[in-house]
């Protein structure tokens, strides 16, 4: 019995690991979200703001009944900050923070956005993150900025200690990496080069498309964040990004690895170079000095990234927008008031503090369960088989 059980376990584990490797870079459409579907696929965070903003995040009932979560005439899902109320001292302006009900791990996240929050004191973010023990499990910031300090978007990672990326301009991204250490705050980040990728210029241009490709398993390339302005021809966009916008149905799967052939390879070529790229560099390829000091790029990503929620929010002031309110020019332009006083006493300044999201879609591994990876499935089945060894 022991010999048969051991042989079966070994054989099945090998098959599962081979299947997992084959599935890497082969992602299936799991969710396609637009309009009212956002109310079903996301839950509303109604707790204190972890980033200490002058903001009061409200529940779904309050958001919908007060017009803070709506669908506009164009069918876009809109979440916004309150722009009608003078807020008493010690309170925050009402706003919305959404968390996806389904988790995602490795795969592709796409969003077409027509409008993002703009204005002094605003701190909008579109990101993915573990749901506890931050930064264990990692954080990936796809869109982020504060006080209209664009016009270029900033993409970032936040991890535990031990993840470093290469700095400066590089051939594997179009952006510029100014912060190479990914640990905690401020994390590692890359500033985009496209002037229309954030804030007022993004909105004046009618919006655009963002995508994040997360491939963090052993031997995978890493994490890329992509941006295309709205005026990009649909023929120059991956179908997974442009579908719906150009009348086509979204493809059911996307292949990003070397197995891509034919149309899959043509689609892969349309991705081009990401605006921000964070390389997956195994510990075994780094020197002892790099591992000890971070003097060279090294980030064995399977050690730093777990299952993530997708989060869309708008904070006001707080740890970033509040800190930079003065030297951003916002204080001087508004009578040198504090960020907190500006937010509470000027509701009309937040008319443009809103997200308009046309659609979002998630592709992940074909073996995923609630966003978990094929490796997790292999591990779970193997544990069940191990039990037979004790019989």
Q: Does residue 23 form part of some domain? A: no
Q: Does residue 383 form part of some domain? A: no
Q: In a 3-state reduction of DSSP, which class is residue 185?
A: coil
For residues 31 and 13, what is the distance between their CA atoms, to the nearest angstrom?
29
Residues 6+ apart with CB under 8 A from 357: 38, 76, 77, 78, 111, 112, 113, 114, 312
Provide mean pLDDT across the span 37-53: 97
Nearest CA to 346 among 25, 142, 83? 83
Assign residue 280 the CATH number of its domain.
2.60.120.200
Nearest CA to 364 among 206, 279, 254? 254
pLDDT of residue 67: 98
Q: Does residue 9 form part of some domain? A: no
**Beta-strand pair 97-100/168-169:** unpaired
pLDDT of residue 245: 58
Q: Does residue 384 form part of some domain? A: no
Q: Does residue 12 form part of some domain? A: no
Count CB-CB contacts under 10 A for residue 300.
18
Residue 368 has pLDDT above 60, yes or no: no
Count CB-CB contacts under 10 A for residue 387.
9
Q: Does residue 204 form part of some domain? A: yes
Provide mean pLDDT across the span 168-179: 96
Confidence class for position 23, pLDDT limits 50, 70, 90? low
pLDDT of residue 372: 43
Q: Does residue 246 form part of some domain? A: yes
Confidence class for position 351, pLDDT limits 50, 70, 90? very high
For residues 243 and 168, what is the distance between their CA atoms, to the nearest angstrom?
34
From residue 6, how far is each of 13, 126, 277, 339, 381 by CA, in Å?
Answer: 11, 46, 42, 64, 14
| Residue-wise pLDDT tens digits, 102-122 | 999 999 999 999 999 999 999
For residues 116 and 376, what is the distance between their CA atoms, to the nearest angstrom?
36
Q: How many angstroms from the chain centroid is the CA of residue 138?
A: 11
End-to-end Cα separation, the chain, in angstroms: 9
pLDDT of residue 294: 72
Q: Does residue 191 form part of some domain? A: yes
**Domain coverage including residue 339:** 30-374
For residues 344 and 93, what is the distance between their CA atoms, to the nearest angstrom?
6
- Counted domains in the chain: 1
Total-model pTM: 0.87
What sign for the dihedral angle of Cα 232, 235, 241, 246?
positive
| Residue-wise pLDDT tens digits, 187-230 | 999 999 988 999 999 999 999 999 999 999 999 999 999 999 99
pLDDT of residue 19: 41
Residue 25 has pLDDT above 60, yes or no: yes
């Amino acid at each position: 019995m022991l010999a048969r059980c051991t042989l079966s376990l070994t054989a099945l584990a090998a098959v599962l690991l081979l299947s997992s490797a084959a599935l890497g870079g082969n992602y299936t459409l799991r969710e396609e979200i637009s309009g009212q579907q956002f109310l079903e696929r996301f839950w509303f965070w109604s707790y204190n703001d972890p980033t200490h903003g002058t903001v009061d995040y409200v529940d779904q009932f309050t958001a919908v009944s007060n017009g803070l979560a709506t669908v506009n005439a164009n069918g876009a899902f809109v979440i916004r900050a309150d722009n009608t109320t003078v807020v008493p001292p010690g309170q925050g302006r009402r706003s919305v923070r959404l968390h996806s009900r389904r988790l995602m791990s490795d795969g592709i996240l796409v969003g077409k956005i027509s409008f993002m929050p703009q204005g002094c004191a605003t701190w909008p973010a579109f990101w993915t993150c573990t749901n506890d023990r931050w930064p264990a499990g990692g954080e990936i910031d796809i869109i982020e900025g504060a006080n209209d300090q664009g016009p270029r978007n900033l993409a970032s990672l936040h991890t535990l200690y031990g993840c470093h990326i290469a700095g400066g301009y590089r051939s594997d991204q179009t952006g510029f990496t100014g912060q190479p250490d990914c640990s905690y705050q401020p994390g590692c980040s890359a500033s985009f080069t496209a002037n229309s990728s954030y804030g007022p210029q993004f909105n004046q241009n009618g919006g655009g498309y963002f995508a994040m490709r997360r491939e963090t398993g052993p031997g995978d390339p890493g994490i890329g964040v992509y941006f295309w302005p709205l005026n990009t021809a649909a023929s120059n966009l991956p179908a997974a990004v442009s579908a719906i916008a150009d009348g086509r149905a979204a493809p059911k799967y996307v292949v990003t690895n070397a197995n891509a052939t034919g149309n899959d390879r043509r689609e892969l070529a349309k991705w081009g170079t990401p605006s921000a790229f964070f390389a997956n560099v195994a510990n075994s390829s780094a020197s002892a000095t790099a591992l000890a000091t971070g003097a060279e790029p090294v980030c064995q990503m399977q050690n730093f990234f777990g299952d993530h929620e997708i989060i869309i929010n708008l904070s006001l002031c707080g740890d970033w927008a509040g800190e930079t309110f003065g030297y951003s020019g916002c204080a001087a332009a508004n009578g040198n008031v504090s960020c907190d006083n500006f937010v509470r006493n000027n509701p009309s300044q937040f008319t443009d503090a809103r997200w308009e999201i046309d659609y979002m879609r998630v592709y992940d591994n074909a073996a995923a369960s609630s966003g978990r990876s094929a490796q997790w499935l292999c591990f779970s089945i193997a544990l069940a088989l191990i039990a037979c060894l004790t019989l």
